[in-house]
Amino acid sequence: MSHVMTTLLTGASGGIGLEMSRLLAARGHRLVLASRSAQKLEDLAAHLRRDYGVEAHGCAIDLSERGAAERLFDFTQTLNLPIDALVNNAGCGMLEEHVHADPEILRHMLQLNVVTLAELCRLYGAQMKQRRSGMILNVASTAAYQPAPYFAAYGASKSFVLNLSEALAKELEDFGVRVSCLSPGPTDTGFFDGFDPQRTAGGHFLAMKRRSSVQAVAEAGVQLMFGGGLSQVVGFRNQAMIFANRFAPRALVAAVSKSLLRPRDVEMRHPLFDENAEDKNV
């Protein structure tokens, strides 16, 4: 009897993760689905069992809490299912001047995007290394490839994901474990809920019609994972932009990035230097 692969997928209840869960189920994977929304996970697991005939388990967990990686690991241990593939997809972002970011939201984002992801890679990567087989797919972003003013900590968190993934891929390649990193550009998911692209100076770059379809991104992720590539940027336009970035001075890239991402309501200059400021004698 052929081995049924078990995949642990974080951020499965919506967006890219939801679409990936269907693609993996279509390949016959047994799935462990993790995110915060218990009901959504239950409904998704039922849908995957019914429509794809696969085993599916939900784990409602807030991965932005300390110790969440260990709790998720313990959950899969109690299921007694060795995880063949780990997809670290859950993530969130914030558009804000870094110095005015809500400290609680900032901590949660970094814990989710950086700390939990690194811990899950460590916990499951160790098991995979011991078994001499396994796959890890981490979801970064095109924001990983250059400084992203006003998305500063989000972009930096995704640079961490990209660098960690590529380094880990090299550490584990001799042990039969493949690590890959997917970098989507703006994609049509709930990620942008409550966020008006027109608030940014280069809003057209983030506008709905410029976003990749969630299906295309999920398919690219699954293909990358099974193809064993190191890292991939999704979409020709995004690839071209990142390729061009390599040849430009970092200062120029940062300046262009700022001009595109700057929220229109952000004060640009100190009143001392602002010709229109009423009182320059601050």
Ligand X SMILES: NC(=O)c1ccc[n+]([C@@H]2O[C@H](COP(=O)([O-])OP(=O)(O)OC[C@H]3O[C@@H](n4cnc5c(N)ncnc54)[C@H](OP(=O)(O)O)[C@@H]3O)[C@@H](O)[C@H]2O)c1
37 binds ligand X (CB under 6 A): yes
The residues near 27 (Cβ < 8 Å, ≥ 6 apart) are 5, 222
Which is closer to ligand X, CB of 12 or CB of 156?
Answer: 12
What amino acid occupies position 177?
V
Least CB distance from residue 36 to ligand X, whole Å? Answer: 3
Least CB distance from residue 90 to ligand X, whole Å? Answer: 4
Q: Is the dihedral of CA 209, 214, 219, 225 positive or negative?
A: positive
Least CB distance from residue 134 to ligand X, whole Å? Answer: 20
Return the range that interacts with ligand X (CB under 6 A); candidates 14-22, 77-85, 225-233, 242-250.
Answer: 14-22
Nearest of 127, 125, 130 to residue 170 by alpha carbon: 125
What amino acid occupies position 39?
Q
How far from 65 is each of 8, 71, 111, 190, CA to CA, in Å? 18, 10, 7, 21
190 binds ligand X (CB under 6 A): yes
Nearest of 19, 39, 30 to residue 79 by alpha carbon: 30
64 binds ligand X (CB under 6 A): yes
16 binds ligand X (CB under 6 A): yes
Residue 231 backbone phi and psi in degrees, to 5: -150, 150
* Residue 231 bridge partners (DSSP): 181
112 binds ligand X (CB under 6 A): yes
Residue 186 backbone phi and psi in degrees, to 5: -50, 130
36 binds ligand X (CB under 6 A): yes
Which is closer to ligand X, CB of 1 or CB of 46?
Answer: 46
159 binds ligand X (CB under 6 A): no
Query: Contacting ligand X (CB under 6 A), which of 17, 134, 155, 235?
Result: 17
Q: How many residues sit close enough to ligand X to count as binding (CB under 6 A)? A: 28
Residues at the interface with ligand X (CB under 6 A): 11-17, 35-37, 40, 62-64, 89-93, 112, 139, 141, 184, 186-187, 189-191
